[in-house]
Amino acid sequence: MKDIIVQKFGGTSVADTDKIKNVARAVIREKNLGHDVVVVVSAMGHTTDILTKLAKDITPNPSAREMDMLLSTGEGVSIALLAMALQAQGCDAVSMNAMQVGIITEKVHTKARILDIKTDKIRKYLDEGKVVVIAGFQGITDDYEITTLGRGGSDTSAVALAGALEAERCDIYTDVEGVYTTDPRIVPCASKLKEISYDEMMELASGGANVLHPRAVETAMTHNTPVRVRSTFKLEDYGTLILGVDKMELHRPVTGVASDMSQLRIVVCDVKDNPGVAASLFDGLAAENISIDMIIQSYARKELHTNDIAFTIDKSDIDKAMGVLEKLKSELCYSNVFVDDKIAKISIVGAGMVGRPGIAAKMFRTLANLGINIKMIATSEIKISCLVDKDNANKAVETLHTVFGLDSNEIADVKGDLPNV
């Protein structure tokens, strides 16, 4: 049995028919290296955005089920075209959607999690010598409802397939040459990383580095699947390898900086300072499948017996969240709700910050020197995030990148002489 490589190509890589023909060449190159190849593709170019806009032109609140029916069609187009391009270049290939494969998810429309993947049919096609081209982003429930995995979810489809097939590696082909110390489109002097640990990549992805979907990193970590992020347009480039921390050498305290503008902050004022109040609020939000990121509860005002609770959620969940707050008004007895959608979460990430004092202070001092006010702070062992005004986001990222020594003229060339795998 040959080693299996899973290759994933994102929207820009399959944006038009010439690019699809180019992807076919990249697939054939991998097959010629002696591997069995499974390919996962996203919808062409901005298809998912265009479909979303069509839905919003019909109604401001389309049902989540129908959104999944609509958005899942995008990936259906690319798999068929790529299979045709492979066949036209003399490579035996077959396309499969999530239903044909059996990519089973929870019944949660628009952000389902994968529960199981059937591999028998894929293996049968591989044994016949075919390249198997699979639609990313989509899944199917056990009662045949179509689901999607959330924006950017094709990465997760690819890594989950690699795990289920016990693949040698999952290669995420995209429009940049790897994972950089920050978004290279915002900070041109960002440095490309040769390697990054699963933990650090997870924090960067959750912090807004959309080069990889956070759940893809979580899935890779669970199955211990090596993931490589590399360029569709520069196949000879080594890219960035994502792997366990034990194989890494820790040099710098901070490995990367990320910004996320997809969230908004809700402040619930003057809730009762009683046991169970936070539980009721967050139970209500969880029941609507709303993920919470940062949370701050203020110091209680003893004389009034109240405090404030502030938290951040994804912008797309605002209507559902306001519905929950309305329902809980009499129970929580809050006075006001403020919504702030002009915010950005700025995060610095690095496994090397563990046990090194002064990193948070340096971040806060840097923001203070720029005159930037910090609205919320959250930390993990290897991450510090600050919520700031959206207008200050790029300035904050650029300056933190320089202050923590990440500019490309500061760190050694990481491209080096590496094996071309």
Residue 209 binding partner per list Mg ion, ligand ADP, ligand ASP, none, with a CB distance cut-off of 5 to 8 Å that depends on partner kind:
ligand ADP
Dist CA 372 CA 388 (whole Å): 7
Which residue in 174, 206, 225, 385 binds ligand ADP (CB under 6 A)?
Answer: 174
Question: Which of these ranges, 204-212, 241-249, 341-349, 378-386, lies near ligand ADP under the rule CB under 6 A?
Answer: 204-212
Dist CA 38 CA 134 (whole Å): 7
Query: Is residue 110 part of the contact set for ligand ASP (CB under 6 A)?
Result: no
Query: Is residue 385 part of the contact set for ligand ADP (CB under 6 A)?
Result: no
* Shortest Å, Cβ 314 to ligand ADP: 16
Question: Which of these ranges, 40-48, 217-225, 275-283, 376-384, lies near ligand ASP under the rule CB under 6 A?
Answer: 40-48
Question: Which of these ranges, 118-126, 145-153, 292-300, 413-421, lies near ligand ASP under the rule CB under 6 A?
Answer: 145-153
Number of other residues whose CB lies within 10 A of the CB of residue 229: 26
* Shortest Å, Cβ 41 to ligand ASP: 9
Strand 114-117 with 146-148, pairing: unpaired
Query: Is residue 152 part of the contact set for Mg ion (CB under 5 A)?
Result: yes
Total number of residues binding ligand ADP (CB under 6 A)? 20
Residue 124 binding partner per list ligand ADP, Mg ion, ligand ASP, none, with a CB distance cut-off of 5 to 8 Å that depends on partner kind:
none
Query: Is residue 45 part of the contact set for ligand ASP (CB under 6 A)?
Result: no
12 or 380: whose CB is closer to ligand ASP? 12
Which residue in 23, 131, 140, 211 binds ligand ADP (CB under 6 A)?
Answer: 211
Dist CA 229 CA 274 (whole Å): 48
80 or 377: whose CB is closer to ligand ASP? 80
Residue 48 binding partner per list ligand ADP, ligand ASP, Mg ion, none, with a CB distance cut-off of 5 to 8 Å that depends on partner kind:
ligand ASP
List residues near ligand ASP by CB under 6 A.
10-11, 42-43, 48, 74, 136-137, 151-155
